[in-house]
Chains A and B, each alone.
Chain A
Amino acid sequence: MIVVTWGAVSDTGRVRARNEDAVLAQDPVFVVADGMGGYRGGATASRIAVETFREILDLPRVRAADIPPQLRAAHDAIRRQAGIEPASASMGTTAVGLTLVHEDGAAYWLAFNVGDSRLYRLHEGVLSQISVDHSYVQELVHAGFLAPDEARLHPERSVITRALGVADGSDADFWVFPAEAGERFLLCSDGLSGELDDVDIAAALTAGEGPQETAARLVTAANEAGGRDNISVIVVDVAGTPDAELDAPTADRPRSAPGSGAGSTPDPTSGSSPDPVPEIT
Chain B
Amino acid sequence: MSGGGQGRYRAGAWYVIFTPDAVVMVDDGMPARDVQRLWEVVHGGADLEAILAELDRPAARRVFGVAVTGPDGLQTRVRPGVALLVDRGDGGPPLVDTGDGHPDGALPAHAAPGAPGNPGAPDGAAVAPPHLVRLIRVGATDHGADVTLPVVCGVVRADDVEWTPARGTRRVRGRRAVERAGGRPGTRPSDRPVETRPVSVTPGLGRAGRPDDAGAYRDEPGPAPDDAEPGARGRARTPSAWGDRLDETFLPQWTSERWRQHGRGGSRPDDPADPAAGEPDDVGDAAAATGNDVDGGGGGPDVEGATGVYSQATPPTWRALAARAPRPASNPATPSPGTPASPSTPTLQVPADETRAPLDAEPPPSDEPADRDGPAARATPADRDGPADLDPPAERGGGAPTVHAVLCSAQHPNPVQATYCRSCGEALGFASVQLVSRPPLGVLRFSTGQEVVLDQNVLVGRAPRADRVPGRQLPRPVRIEGQGLDISRNHLEVRLEGWHVLVVDLGSRNGTLVTLPGRAPQLIDARVPCLIAVGTVVELTEDVTFSLESLP
Using a CB–CB distance below 8 Å, which chain A residues touch chain B?
63-65, 67-73, 75-76, 79-80, 103-104, 106, 108, 132, 167-168, 170-178, 245-253, 255, 258, 266, 268-269, 271, 273, 279
Contact = CB atoms under 8 A, between A and B. Distances in A.
A258 B542 CA distance: 9
Contacts of B469: 173-175
B471 interface: yes
Given A79-B386, A251-B486, A132 B398 contact: no
Contact of A268 (B378, B486, B523): B486
A178 B464 contact: yes
Given A167-B386, A174-B471, A255-B511, A268 B477 contact: no
B479 A178 contact: yes
Contacts of A67: 474
B379 A250 contact: no
B476 A106 contact: no
Interface string B382-412: 0101110100010111110000000000000
23 contacts: A63-B476, A64-B476, A68-B474, A69-B397, A69-B398, A76-B383, A106-B479, A108-B477, A132-B468, A167-B386, A168-B387, A168-B389, A172-B470, A174-B474, A176-B465, A176-B466, A178-B465, A253-B486, A253-B509, A255-B523, A266-B485, A268-B485, A268-B541
Nearest 8 Cβ contacts at the A-B interface: A268-B484, A72-B398, A177-B465, A253-B486, A68-B471, A69-B398, A68-B397, A251-B485
Nearest to B400: A65
A64 B463 CA distance: 15
A132 B398 CA distance: 20
B350 interface: no
Given A104-B452, A253-B510, A266-B485, A171 B396 contact: yes
Interface string B482-510: 11111111000000000000000000111
Given A171-B395, A178-B465, A106 B477 contact: yes
A19 B256 CA distance: 77
Contact of B477 (A64, A132, A258): A64
Given A71-B397, A175-B466, A252-B510, A246 B489 contact: yes
Contacts of B379: 69, 72
Contacts of B399: 68-69, 72
B475 interface: yes
Most buried by B among A174, A249, A252: A174
Nearest to A253: B486
B456 interface: yes
B476 A72 contact: no
Contact of B509 (A173, A177, A250, A268): A250
Interface in B344-397: 378-379, 383, 385-387, 389, 393, 395-397
B476 A103 contact: yes
B392 to A, nearest CB: 12
Given A65-B456, A251-B485, A175 B467 contact: yes
B90 interface: no
A176 to B, nearest CB: 5
Given A79-B385, A175-B468, A273-B485, 17 more contacts: A71-B397, A75-B396, A76-B385, A171-B395, A171-B396, A171-B471, A177-B464, A178-B463, A245-B463, A245-B485, A249-B485, A250-B487, A250-B489, A252-B486, A253-B510, A255-B523, A269-B482
Helix, strand, loop or mixed for chain B's interface?
A: loop
A73 B385 CA distance: 11
B387 A167 contact: yes
A170 B474 CA distance: 16
A76 B452 CA distance: 30
Nearest to B375: A65
B249 interface: no
B466 A173 contact: no
A180 to B, nearest CB: 8
A141 to B, nearest CB: 15
A130 B207 CA distance: 80
Most buried by B among A171, A245, A248, A273: A245
B394 to A, nearest CB: 8
B450 interface: yes
B478 interface: yes
A170 B379 CA distance: 16
B88 interface: no
A245 B482 contact: yes
A15 B285 CA distance: 99
A266 B383 CA distance: 53
B462 interface: yes
A167 B385 CA distance: 10
A173 B479 contact: no
